[in-house]
Structure formats: structure tokens, C-alpha cells
């Protein structure tokens, strides 16, 4: 794992320290890595939805209801372990 040096604002540093003091995490590195992992997962979800929307727009009219489409998205996220 590579080492990095980063600076935090006082409120962010206080928040990070409170998570460590409450024993939710053992280090700031662990927290930052978790936040990055979550951001990457969210970005992947956004990209998947965007690709599906573009595909749908290019395919013309659909017969699925909005609820059917939402259920399909949720099912895919669940299969991928993202929901």
C-alpha cells in the first residue's frame, strides 16, 4: 500500500478523530479508504444507470413501466452486491 500525506480541515479532523475514539475505525487511513471505496461504488452505480439510460434512449419506446425499470435496476445492484 502506498503512503500519502494529506491535510484535513479542523472540522473534518475532529470528525475523523471522533470515529476513531468511538472505535468505529482504528485509523484515519481506514476511514479514508472506506470513504473512497464508497465513492467508487457510487460512481459505478451512476455509470451503470447512465449507460442504461443512453441505451434506452437509443432503443426507442419501451413497454416497461417505471416501476418495472426500477425493480430491474435494484435487482442488478443486488446481484452485484451493491445494494
pTM of the model as a whole: 0.65
Residues 9, 14: Cα–Cα separation, whole Å: 9
Distance, in Å, from the CA atom of 11 to the CA atom of 13, rounded to the nearest integer, reads: 5
The pLDDT of residue 20 is 98
From CA 28, how far away is CA 51, in angstroms rounded?
34
Q: How far apart are CA 33 and CA 31, in angstroms?
A: 5
Q: What is the pLDDT of residue 81?
A: 86
pLDDT tens, N- to C-terminus, the chain (83 residues): 889 999 999 999 999 999 999 999 999 999 999 999 999 999 999 999 999 899 888 887 778 888 999 999 899 899 988 87
- Spans of all domains in the chain: 10-80
Q: Could you tell me the three cell numbers for 74?
A: 435494484
Amino acid at each position: 500500500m502506498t503512503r500519502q500525506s494529506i491535510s484535513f480541515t479542523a472540522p473534518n479532523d475532529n470528525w475523523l478523530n471522533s470515529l476513531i475514539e468511538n472505535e468505529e475505525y482504528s485509523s484515519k487511513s481506514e476511514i479514508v479508504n472506506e470513504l473512497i471505496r464508497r465513492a467508487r461504488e457510487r460512481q459505478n452505480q451512476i455509470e451503470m444507470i447512465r449507460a442504461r439510460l443512453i441505451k434506452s434512449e437509443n432503443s426507442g419506446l419501451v413497454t416497461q413501466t417505471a416501476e418495472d425499470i426500477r425493480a430491474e435496476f435494484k435487482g442488478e445492484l443486488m446481484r452485484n452486491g451493491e445494494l
